[in-house]
Amino acid sequence: MAFLKSNGACLREFTSQFPRPSRADNHKSRRNVKWRSPQAAVVPNFHLPMRSLEVKNRTSAEDIKALRLITAIKTPYLPDGRFDLEAYDDLVNMQIENGAEGVIVGGTTGEGQLMSWDEHIMLIGHTVNCFGGSVKVIGNTGSNSTREAIHATEQGFAVGMHAALHINPYYGKTSLEGLVSHFDRVLPMGPTIIYNVPSRTGQDIPPRVVNTVAQSPNLAGIKECVGNDRIEQYTGNGIVVWSGNDDQCHDARWSHGATGVISVTSNLIPGLMRELMFSGKNPSLNAKLLPLIEWLFQEPNPIGLNTALAQLGVVRPVFRLPYVPLPLAKRVEFVNLVKEIGRENFVGEKDVKVLDDDDFVLVGRY
């Protein structure tokens, strides 16, 4: 009872700070005061942040800026569509063993768009728990809803991710001022990479927006897919950039100032992609890899990657719809590409196979 009384007193004390105006006061105010837009909705600290002040093994934005090879890691599935964590762990271990410095968890390649937020945050936490001491874990906690982006990013940092990846709001696009406001709400939470891929979002993040949000010390850099001219524009102003285009990453790194690449192809050949990013200009190696990269992106990512990893035997041939495998003729092309580049350069140890159409499992409900 004493507890209830004390809390009741606290409640009365709290509510007394907000006296209710009388009806007469309301009537006068409506007649004499001009209408003003409500301010509560735009006050940044109207809601208290969900944070802990305990010292964490937190990575700084400067640590993220130094990464040169970041793999947008694939998410493998069991036949019923749930995560295949054993296969996932093998994939991440192969990245670490071959020199990848970071992984994007639940990005486009990892099919975050097909995950519930529960699955998404669980996979980020699992990756941190198992591999956080060996590789930087960057969680894709972006959303076209600022509310969801805030909530997911809070949860991602709470489970230990080292940095967040944030896309601009897609489909329900906003103004340039809206883009700045969106990013301003998530940047204070921790190191952040902003992802610009207009082919998917339908809206470019222009330099005006990036230069504005770059004032935040938590902006680690930009994953830029517009091209190398844009990359050079940023790097010339001291903004860190990773190429988001595997076919352009060699020139981006060595001729346009990019720090490195956030790569899809490194899921398959992490060692060769590391060589491309670390060992200086190597146009012959770049030319050798371009046919594989072109093959990977002939259909929207991650269709090609999912097909290739299944053919290499490192994941089960299970697809969450709407993704479906590449057709038989394209699978034969991949077998030939593996032979040309050398099976020893690809992940896994099994012989590459064409696979029959019936080998693939397509899951619509999971």
The predicted model scores a pTM of 0.86
With cut-offs at 50, 70 and 90, classify the pLDDT of residue 269. very high
| Residues 61-113 pLDDT 10s | 999 999 999 999 999 999 999 999 999 999 999 999 999 999 999 999 999 99
**From the CB of residue 61, how many other CB atoms can be counted at a distance below 10 Å?**
19
pLDDT tops 90 at residue 28: no
Contact 165, 140 (CB under 8 A): yes
Per-residue pLDDT, 98: 98
Contact 265, 73 (CB under 8 A): no
| Residues 171-194 pLDDT 10s | 999 999 999 999 999 999 999 999
Contact 164, 141 (CB under 8 A): yes
Contact 353, 360 (CB under 8 A): no
Contact 226, 198 (CB under 8 A): yes
Cα-based distances in Å from 176 to 180, 203, 204, 219, 266? 6, 10, 10, 18, 33
- Point out the residues that are catalytic: 195, 223
Residue 247 tokens read as: 């076919």
**From the CB of residue 24, how many other CB atoms can be counted at a distance below 10 Å?**
8
Phi/psi of residue 319, nearest 5 degrees: -120, 130
> Across residues 263-276, what is the average pLDDT?
98
> Across residues 226-231, what is the average pLDDT?
98
With cut-offs at 50, 70 and 90, classify the pLDDT of residue 58. confident
Q: Residue 83's beta-bridge partner residues?
A: 77
| Residues 128-174 pLDDT 10s | 999 999 999 999 999 999 999 999 999 999 999 999 999 999 999 99
**From the CB of residue 314, how many other CB atoms can be counted at a distance below 10 Å?**
21
Q: What is the residue-averaged pLDDT of the chain? A: 91
233 φψ region: left (φ > 0), alpha (ψ -120 to 50), beta (else): alpha
Contact 349, 67 (CB under 8 A): no
Strand boundaries in 141-246, DSSP class E: 163-167, 192-196, 219-224, 241-243
Alpha-carbon gap, residue 244 to 157, rounded angstroms: 24
| Sequence-separated (6 or more) residues with CB below 8 Å from residue 60 | 191
Nearest Cα neighbor of 138 from 116, 178, 112, 105 is 105
| Sequence-separated (6 or more) residues with CB below 8 Å from residue 40 | 46
